[in-house]
Amino acid sequence: MEVDVKMTEVKSYSKLGEALAKGDFILTGELEPEKTCDLSHTIEEAKQIAPYVIAANVTDSPLGIVTINSMAATHLIQKATGLECVWQMTVRDVNKLGIAGMIMGAQALGIHNILSLTGDHTALGDMAESKPVFDLDSATLIKLVREMVDKGSINGYEIEDPPKLHVGGAANPNSEPMGPEILKIGRKAEAGCEFIQTQVVYDIDRTIEFLTGIRKYKVPILLGIFPMKSYGIAKGFDTFVPGVSVPKEILAKWKSVKKDVTDKKQKKELYDQYNYELFKPFVSELRKKNLIDGIHCMAVHYPRIFPKLKDIIGA
């Protein structure tokens, strides 16, 4: 099946936007600022992955656990490293009015990519008593961004110097049932979504089914992958991230490295090797079927895998 999903939008406001417009196979990374005002660790990680990715996402209090504000972190990381970022913005904590103001603020701070997310519910996090906002949702935030950028207005009111951002959305191939999730991606496409980043997925058949289902919306798709740095990370990901489960046989394989290999260097090499063996055929098959336009690698705190990704994704 040949589907041309290159963006028809000529204007590009960022390297990511430009690459999407050109139809390049894209590799993006992810940075996860923590509960600290000192971003030096994240900045260091950003420097390490910068040569290998076109941009990196900066997360917005994932799992509802409060971290440093994602817009501030995005700006500071970009400023310190020159690495272009994708500002993750959830609709969980700020109302429409507040988000519109933040979008203008982002432009003023030199942020030109935003990923629209619902966000994990406040009740799941470490400030559960906080009021959940959800004034917008992940589709209507996309619509808001596109109105501000393309029409230069908010609710019909003109913005003197409008923002220039590209907006993406998320998709979850693990979604069961799958039907509602596919139709939801259709809504995001209608709202003006410029790229889709998928949640991490390990089941190839399910992935093919899902991606085939959303391909008709003609939005470039970045497949979410999560090379696992250690057994602990794999187990934690499996346990705590809503909607994601790591297959038992993979967990067992990672567990065996933890249990059976004592030499630290050898352990690292083996984890890297297993990630290579896991993702190489996975990505290759999806590329062969023309179902993806790039990879979004969420391996936070695992910068050493990034030099190897080029080989894994065959870019």
Residues within window 101-120 making contact with another protein, judged by CB under 8 A: 117-118, 120
Could you say whether residue 94 binds another protein (CB under 8 A)? no
Which of 18, 137 has the CB closer to another protein? 137
Total residues at interface with another protein (CB under 8 A): 35
* Smallest distance, another protein to C-beta of residue 92, A: 8
Name beta bridge partners: 138.
Answer: none
180 binds another protein (CB under 8 A): yes
Rounded CA-CA distance 22/258 in Å is 43
Task: Between 132 and 307, name the residue whose CB sits nearer to another protein.
Answer: 132
Give the C-alpha distances (Å, rounded to integers) separating 23 from 117, 141, 224: 24, 25, 18
User: Which stretches within the chain are classed as H helix?
Assistant: 15-22, 40-49, 70-81, 96-108, 138-146, 179-191, 204-215, 231-240, 248-260, 264-288, 306-313
Span 212-251, contacts to another protein by CB under 8 A: 242-243
Binding flag, residue 127, another protein (CB under 8 A)? no
Secondary structure letter of residue 265 according to DSSP: H
- 10 Å Cβ neighbour count for 228? 25
Q: Does 175 bind another protein (CB under 8 A)?
A: yes
Closest CA to 95 of 137, 139, 135, 143: 135
Interface segment toward another protein; rule CB under 8 A; list 65-73, 186-194, 205-213, 290-298: 186-194
Nearest to 283 by CA among 211, 219, 234, 216: 211
The one among 3, 108, 183, 252 contacting another protein by CB under 8 A: 183
Quick one: tokens of 148?
Answer: 């501000």
Considering only 7, 103, 115, 136, the residue that binds another protein (CB under 8 A) is 136
203 counts as binding another protein under rule CB under 8 A:
no
Question: How far from each other are the two terminal CA atoms of the chain, in whole angstroms?
Answer: 21
If one asks whether residue 186 binds another protein (CB under 8 A), the answer comes out as: yes
- In our burial notation (b when 16+ CB lie closer than 10 A, e otherwise), range 102-132 reads bbbebbebebbbbbbbbbbebeebeeeeeee
By beta-carbon proximity to another protein, the closer residue of 26 and 136 is 136
What is the Cβ-side half-sphere exposure of residue 43, based on CA atoms within 13 angstroms?
15
Which residue lies nearer to another protein by CB, 174 or 275? 174
Rule CB under 8 A: choose which of 18, 24, 137, 203 binds another protein: 137
- Shortest separation between residue 39's beta carbon and another protein, angstroms: 26
Does the footprint of another protein cover residue 207 (CB under 8 A)? no
Q: Find the binder of another protein among 75, 112, 143, 229 (CB under 8 A).
A: 143
Comparison of 110 and 132: residue with beta carbon closer to another protein? 132
Q: What is the dihedral of CA 28, 225, 197, 301, to 10 degrees?
A: -50
The contact set with another protein (CB under 8 A) reads 92, 96, 117-118, 120-121, 123-124, 132, 134-140, 143, 170, 172, 174-177, 179-181, 183-184, 186-187, 190-191, 199, 242-243
